[in-house]
Structure 1
Amino acid sequence: MAQAYFVDDGSENFNEIRPTFYIGQHDSTRSETLTDLQYGQVLNTGFSFVTTPITNDHFHERILSLLNTSLSSLGDQQTTGSRPDPIVPPLTTDDTTLFPGTFTSGLVAYSSPWIDLCSPNHIISSISRQVLNLEVAYANFCGVRSIIIPGPRQDAVDAGTSQGITQYARAIQEALLIGTRVTFIVHLPMYREPGLEERAPILSLPGQHQNGGDQEPKEIDLFSSWDSWHVIRTACEYDTRLFVALRVPRALPEKELQTRWFSEPLQYLTFGPQTFQTNKTGHPSLSRHHQELIWTYMRLKNAPYFLLCDVGPELAASSGTSESINASSTVDFPSLAEAAATQTAKNGQKAQGQNEYSAYLRHVERQQEPLSVLEQGTLTNFQDWLQSPLQPLSDNLESVTYEVFEGDPVKYHQYEMAIAAALREWDEQGKPKSSPKGVVIAVAGSGRGPLVTRALRASEKTGVPVEVWAVEKNPNAYVYLLRQNQKVWGGRVTVVKTDMRAWKGPLVSSGSDNDKPVHGKVDILVSELLGSFADNELSPECLDGIQHVLAPEHGISIPSSYTAHMTPISTPRIYSDIVQRKAGGDATAFDTPWVVRLFAIDFVAQKVPDRARFQQAWEFVHPLPQSTMDAVEARRSGGVVGGGGGSMSGGVGANDHNTRHCHLTFVCRTRGVIHGLAGYFEAVLYESSNGNEKVELSTLPDMIDKKSKDMISWFPIFFPLKQPLYFPPDTELEVSMWRQTDDAKVWYEWMVEAFMWVGPSQRVKVGGSEMCSSRKVACLM
């Protein structure tokens, strides 16, 4: 019985939050819309929603008659254009039992599974397309919000031609224009596992073999179903109303295919009885692999719903319709559950218990790991949500922005460890201090002062005295820093309002009327100027500009170095969002490197010898050699003519030393599509001179837990492609990226090319993106 899954030992922590399961019921043999009482009976067995056919058997018979009549009248003249295609007549009340009503908006429509939009016969495909359009238009009129459309039963790989899939895609595109208020869900198998297809016979020529019949067993192409989906959604231009319902097989495929579907816009995970196995007590259950797949997919911000197909419950034939209920009184009108219970009592029937399949899914729901505090808010809310990169040099940030940064204790803990390690080594090695008060620490770009607090705390823990300066250009943050110095730091900090690049260093003496002020040096320069791609918020330019205040021999920078990393990804959801932004008037949507918490993505590249999944693009090190700084100053003062990209772009080339270029090769074992490049970074905050102590930060997915676990200060950066790039199996993706500057701003340019080996020594290009550039939205210096 279903109750076997409802054991409660009282140990559950009710403060824990887990993703919620919404479970629907679909009966492939149902040809009539449920009455209100039947609907209530289904809900009482543990389901949240129900599917309904749009048309019935009478309509099906009419279409079969129309098809046979059309074929007979044509005889052998079945070429396109020999005679006009037959026209499907409008629906009548005999053709449907779906009507606008109280609960219609809560039903999920299921279009006729017997139409064949992929048929090579133009009469069959034309009739099928007309049927779909009629059903979509009528469901849209009735107030249905979602329509599930059975997907193609055969992929281009198996059919040997893409004609059927392109016909299907064209039909869905047309239906989207007709059903203007409806969400469309294409029902497809995760892969073509035998037994996952629709059972209803499709429209066909007399004597024609039906798809899904007895066929010779053959090797299954795991990605062919995804290929079909990619053609459909591409033809529909990634429409935001187009989703996929995924039939989950009994034998789960390799992880590459599971993550591929994870990145797609999933609306339903559908399970038939063949997906389940029977446990020792005779109840349905899912394998551990299936449970883990469900738990992974349910971590999505827009988690999929569940649709149980052909698993009951069995419903008794209704003796009446919904019109038999007297709804004239809103006070006395019963709920669905009350109406169903009353009706079953009248009929002398025993009320049904919970469906054992839905009960099992409720059991799986309770077995999920609870959402962490961060997942309940920040991490989930920011999933795949596009944010424009900050412009810290040209804009003054608001307090709430600083507050978001300060909400990450991991980052500041790492900074405190780095400062403490630097102070200990400074003291142990007896390095000279730039102030009689102790080691001089300057926090460049102090914001609201979290790093200042950590610097003071590091001093207290190590016992090494310090003199702390807080440098901040934001006049509003400057006021807050002054208050922090009064209320929190006890006046131990000197606060300076200036752009760090204009700061002359700690003021030693103000000087007399005839003498200039005397400025000292900084021993440890601390900053948190890093961006999602390390250098995208102009950390190199800022630290170059303040380097002149560092003590020439012993001065150190925290961070001391940082590296940018990238990998190609598939992210249909984000690409669709950018398409919508551009359509809404954002002309630079595809030129912007977006900051985004990448989640519903597929890392298309595999880790192979000599080719990592995440590869380093470039590195910046601080402080720079004095020879480099001298060359920069010579260019800026006009002492050098020409030099690099900066001068060619109209500048003098003073920032050319911060330009970068990389050319990386990624290996993709399976075919797929990429929508852009994901960017990450790693930083060495401090490393002791003997190499025994090293404090690092990392946002790389495969390194963050090792170097800075649970750090959330930086989301990845996404460099979009203007058109998705499809690639075949065993492809090498070559990524070229440039960091460009003209002395006034910094921007990126990127391009991706796909190559395939066709012989031991021959490689051909199979695709490529256009050159993308963020120059229009460059970061201003």
Structure 2
Amino acid sequence: MASESEAGGFSFRGDYRENRPMFTLGYHDSKREEPLSELQYGYLLNQDFSVATTPITNSRFKSRVFKVVSDHLATLKANGEKGTSEATANRADPILLPLTPEDTGMFPSQAVNTYVAYTSPWIDLCSNDPVIANISRQVLNLEINYASWCGVKSIIITGPGRDASKDGGSQGIAQYSRAIQEALTIAPAITILIHIPMYREPPVGTQTETLSSLDAEKASKTTGGDIDIFTTWDSWHQIRSVCKYNPRLLVALKMPRVAPEKDLQNRWFCEPLHYLTFSPEVFQKNKAGYPSLTKNHQEIIFAYMRLKNAPWLLLCDVGPDVRHITDDGKDEKAPLTEADFPSLEEAHKPAFRVSTDSSVYCEYLRWLEGQQPPFSVLETPILTNFQDWLQSPLQPLSDNLESATYEVFENDAIKYDQYELAIAEALKEWSELKLPTSKPGVVVMAVAGSGRGPIVTKALQAAESTGVKVEMWAVEKNPNAYVYLLRQNAQKWGGKVNVIKTDMRAWKGPLISDSPETGPVYGKVDILISELLGSFGDNELSPECLDGIQHVLAKPHGISIPQSYTAHLSPIATPKLYTDISARAQTDPSAYDTPWVVSLFSLDFVAQRVPGHPRFQQAWEFSHPIPDSTLEAIAARRSGGVVGGTGGSMAGAAGANDHNSRFCHLTFVARTRGVTHGLAGYFESTLYEQKAGPNKGRKTEISIHPERIDAKSKDMVSWFPIFFPLKQPLYFPADTELEVSMWRQTDDTKVWYEWLVEAWTWVGPSTRVKVASSELCSSRKMACLM
């Protein structure tokens, strides 16, 4: 079963138009000193922009701050003092005076809350000079506080100028992170975006003058050598970790001139991207002389635009120039001349198109918008709404599902088509092998946990298509669904189905006869069908349920559909889910202990595909029916007939369900450094495997395994993955082996999971050391009740 949803009455595979993600364009002019006027803003809207940035302060304020810092540094130098940590403890840094009307052009207005403010890019929060770092922090706080008072809703802050893992920048990143944490506190209603490059490319052109330029001796130096493309992500990770994954802290990601390798693209894909920013050097000219992006850049944009909250595209210093539009409405742009118009010969060329510098970038991006692949079946608006949305796992034994929940399941045609195929193959093979039946001339089938009856319908269709005569039983404990089944039997199935209301584990089997002399006589079932699977295969207690009803299955030829299912794991980075779970934990202490059912999308699989260590690894398997010896052991334990007591079972239990406990220890390899927030869980199931004939061994399967779903059950949407969270993100260095230990535990009354993640790295040919470890996590408080 999929997880319960509040939605109902819709189809996952219904009509939907071939559409694509929409681009939202933004405008940023780094040379502006004043907010846009209403006419200028209106001009941008007419040019297809939806948002524009505005500076908070101007060059006068910059000059004032530079003079304060310059004078103070000169005084320190004259007095023989140092501006580093060696300075005397009683040195007093200057304190900036409040803003004046001459320092800013931003004032409260109806339009100001539509702007995105941009803080002064010339501050240096990462400076090793405590004076410069302190003044930079003061400037940031002044601007944040004032912009918040004016009514601004979001603010972009220039990212750190260097990274902790390069050039001894750990002190600077610590200071920067602390400053951002303070800014979030100063403006509790504002969203803050860190404008940071995807990776640190060699600088081109003239660099922005910063406060650190005033002290050339201590200004950070750019070193050559190889580029470590993960350093800026490292810096971002430290910033957001210090800020405790604050949901108001987002990323404005600078697109690089050269697209990086896929691992880094995937790493940023799972981060809270709000803007993708494009500076002039990112674009290149095509053969016609117009701006364009490389195929690699296009693929990055196309991938990021599939996110439910797709990032906006912010053009930085490219696109329209609005400075010629004055407050009185006059356009001061130079008048057009004959040179601005094409000749008749040029105008008749097919490739010619009249464009101006102010529009070509927008026109190109709108063209690029239409080049995206259309939405797939799995990207319908309804399914997209489920992306990265936490849902509590079902308790199918203790809870009765609502009709709307059943309806969601039933709209997945792929799953039921696979079930019908499996049932048809089983019936066909039963007939061809001339196997004995529980009832002369009739194959007895039962659907355990029938819900509203979709599997029953498929079973009847399979019997009709194969020409095999069947006797059909539908077993359901939900009293409301039982009423619906009776109605279905009367109106749709023509009375061909025997509907039974009971817990499947209490069902004694098909009633053959019932007389006062002999009492009720029960028969057996030849084919037992169920759809009890969860996102991890066994997490909705399919093993326990099928154990309880196996006594009705005929021997030795009885068939269980499904016949087996396997659980699979992979460690993932998913900051969004961790942020959401952290927010829930404020009121729900079990949030970190819950295995959440979630349509995972904004994630990064941190493990690589390595020989012997695949990205997705099998945790365990369950098969049905189980051996008779196991059933006998279960009965003996329940009756107290096992010599030696409970055999070490948990909580003093009899151990009747110990055969369904499991353990796995898996090793994943992470080539690049990163962080994991938990484990993604998936399942695969063999519904039926043919036993004889030319197709012996052919399987009818369903799967949500990311690498095999297309081959086994493409477009199946009944099950979302399961997510086992860690209480604290686990950071690991490059070339790390992530070892995952997981247990399926039981005490005869409930089932729960426990999981542990450890990071090991090699320090020699035969020696490893542990560099990180999670807590032992447990879902016992949220266990699935038997």
- Alignment match, 1:589: 591
- Alignment match, 1:426: 430
Which deviates more from structure 2 when the two are superposed, residues 612-621 or residues 306-315?
306-315
Contact 1:46 1:355 survives alignment (8 Å):
no
Contact 1:22 1:48 survives alignment (8 Å):
yes
- Alignment match, 1:20: 22
Indicate whether 1:521 and 2:524 are aligned: yes
- Alignment match, 2:188: 180
The one-letter code matched in structure 1 to 2:529 is V
The one-letter code matched in structure 2 to 1:363 is W
Shift of 1:276: 1.0
Indicate whether 1:548 and 2:555 are aligned: no
The one-letter code matched in structure 1 to 2:177 is A
SS at match of 1:344: coil
Following the alignment from structure 2 to structure 1, what is the Cα–Cα distance between the partners of residues 703 and 284? 42
The match for 1:113 among 118, 121, 124 is 121
Indicate whether 1:685 and 2:687 are aligned: yes
Indicate whether 1:252 and 2:259 are aligned: yes
Indicate whether 1:777 and 2:782 are aligned: yes
- Alignment match, 1:363: 367
- Alignment match, 1:567: 570
Following the alignment from structure 1 to structure 2, what is the Cα–Cα distance between the partners of residues 492 and 400? 26
**Any stretches of 5+ residues in structure 2 without a counterpart?**
1-14, 338-354
Indicate whether 1:734 and 2:734 are aligned: no
TM-score, normalization by structure 1: 0.93
Following the alignment from structure 2 to structure 1, what is the Cα–Cα distance between the partners of residues 426 and 207? 70
Distance 1:609 1:489, change over 3 A: same
- Alignment match, 2:200: 192
The one-letter code matched in structure 1 to 2:730 is L
Distance 1:388 1:503, change over 3 A: same
Following the alignment from structure 2 to structure 1, what is the Cα–Cα distance between the partners of residues 646 and 262? 46
Following the alignment from structure 2 to structure 1, what is the Cα–Cα distance between the partners of residues 332 and 406? 63
Contact 1:682 1:698 survives alignment (8 Å):
yes
Indicate whether 1:488 and 2:495 are aligned: no
Contact 2:378 2:717 survives alignment (8 Å):
no
The one-letter code matched in structure 2 to 1:597 is S
The one-letter code matched in structure 1 to 2:604 is D
Q: List aligned pairs for 1:25-174, cutoff 5 A.
A: 25-75=27-77, 76-77=80-81, 78=83, 79=87, 81-174=89-182
- Alignment match, 1:501: 505
Shift of 1:19: 1.2
* 1:326-358, Cα deviation, whole Å (9 max, x unpaired): xxxxxxxxxxxxxxxx53399978997852112
**Any stretches of 5+ residues in structure 1 without a counterpart?**
1-12, 325-341
Contact 1:420 1:458 survives alignment (8 Å):
yes
Indicate whether 1:766 and 2:771 are aligned: yes
Following the alignment from structure 2 to structure 1, what is the Cα–Cα distance between the partners of residues 205 and 715? 43
The one-letter code matched in structure 2 to 1:778 is A
- Alignment match, 2:617: 615
The match for 1:344 among 331, 340, 346 is 331
* 1:260-318, Cα deviation, whole Å (9 max, x unpaired): 00000001001111111111110001111111111111110000001111113223355
Following the alignment from structure 1 to structure 2, what is the Cα–Cα distance between the partners of residues 198 and 507? 88
Following the alignment from structure 1 to structure 2, what is the Cα–Cα distance between the partners of residues 54 and 198? 23
- Alignment match, 2:389: 385
Which deviates more from structure 2 when the two are superposed, residues 201-210 or residues 500-509?
201-210
The match for 1:700 among 697, 700, 705 is 705
Shift of 1:377: 2.4
Following the alignment from structure 2 to structure 1, what is the Cα–Cα distance between the partners of residues 697 and 620? 25
TM-score, normalization by structure 2: 0.92
Contact 2:646 2:652 survives alignment (8 Å):
no
SS at match of 2:649: helix
Contact 1:25 1:307 survives alignment (8 Å):
yes
The match for 2:290 among 253, 278, 283 is 283
* 1:363-412, Cα deviation, whole Å (9 max, x unpaired): 11111122235423232000000000000000000000101111100000
Contact 2:607 2:615 survives alignment (8 Å):
yes
The one-letter code matched in structure 1 to 2:195 is H
Following the alignment from structure 2 to structure 1, what is the Cα–Cα distance between the partners of residues 722 and 454? 24
Contact 1:46 1:354 survives alignment (8 Å):
no
Shift of 1:39: 1.9
The one-letter code matched in structure 2 to 1:208 is A
Indicate whether 1:264 and 2:268 are aligned: no
- Alignment match, 2:250: 243
Following the alignment from structure 1 to structure 2, what is the Cα–Cα distance between the partners of residues 425 and 722? 50
The match for 1:539 among 528, 537, 542 is 542
Indicate whether 1:754 and 2:759 are aligned: yes
The one-letter code matched in structure 2 to 1:133 is N
SS at match of 1:94: helix
Following the alignment from structure 1 to structure 2, what is the Cα–Cα distance between the partners of residues 80 and 381? 57
- Alignment match, 1:718: 723
Contact 1:196 1:247 survives alignment (8 Å):
no
- Alignment match, 1:327: none
The match for 1:460 among 455, 459, 464 is 464
Distance 1:359 1:111, change over 3 A: same
The match for 1:299 among 303, 306, 311 is 306
The one-letter code matched in structure 2 to 1:449 is G
- Alignment match, 1:228: 235
Following the alignment from structure 1 to structure 2, what is the Cα–Cα distance between the partners of residues 433 and 367? 59
Contact 2:20 2:370 survives alignment (8 Å):
yes
Shift of 1:642: 5.4
Shift of 1:645: 7.7
Shift of 1:156: 1.4
Contact 2:477 2:504 survives alignment (8 Å):
yes
Shift of 1:41: 2.4
- Alignment match, 1:338: none
- Alignment match, 2:640: 638
Shift of 1:433: 1.2
Distance 1:696 1:197, change over 3 A: farther
Following the alignment from structure 1 to structure 2, what is the Cα–Cα distance between the partners of residues 598 and 531? 15
* 1:612-636, Cα deviation, whole Å (9 max, x unpaired): 1000000000000101100011001
* 1:566-615, Cα deviation, whole Å (9 max, x unpaired): 000000000000000011x1110000000000000000001111101000
- Alignment match, 1:667: 669
* 1:134-179, Cα deviation, whole Å (9 max, x unpaired): 1011111111111000001111122224110010000000000011
Contact 2:213 2:219 survives alignment (8 Å):
no
SS at match of 1:163: helix
Following the alignment from structure 1 to structure 2, what is the Cα–Cα distance between the partners of residues 56 and 195? 25
Following the alignment from structure 2 to structure 1, what is the Cα–Cα distance between the partners of residues 654 and 231? 54
SS at match of 2:681: strand
Distance 1:303 1:488, change over 3 A: same
Q: What is the root-mean-square deviation of aligned Cα atoms in Å?
A: 2.0
Indicate whether 1:473 and 2:468 are aligned: no
Following the alignment from structure 1 to structure 2, what is the Cα–Cα distance between the partners of residues 761 and 613? 24
